Amino acid sequence: MVINRNINEYDRQNKLLKYYINKNMSSSKIKELIEIFIFSQLYKLFDEMDIEFFTVCYFLKYFDHKLGQFHKELF
């Protein structure tokens, strides 16, 4: 997923989180997580679960495109 760097940071984070939640979770699991966690907690949860999410969130300057298979295998 490529996120436009020109949108504000809040919108960028929302779009990233929505993309990765939908990528990794069923709709019932999403509903359950949203009822339990606040935004910042969900963000941290996905940081721990998905290396691609982590890199796109925190190293956008270096990872402005999808990770290759090599990078995924490292983790």
Eight-state DSSP code of residue 70: H
Three-state SS for 16-69 is HHHHHHHHHCCHHHHHHHHHHCCHHHHHHHHHHHCHHHHHHHHCCCCCCCCCCH
Record the pTM. Answer: 0.58
Joined tokens for residue 25: 């979770």
Joined tokens for residue 73: 């295998």
| 6 has pLDDT over 80 | no
Question: What's the pLDDT tens digit per position in 18-69?
Answer: 888 888 788 888 888 888 988 888 888 888 887 778 877 777 777 666 667 7
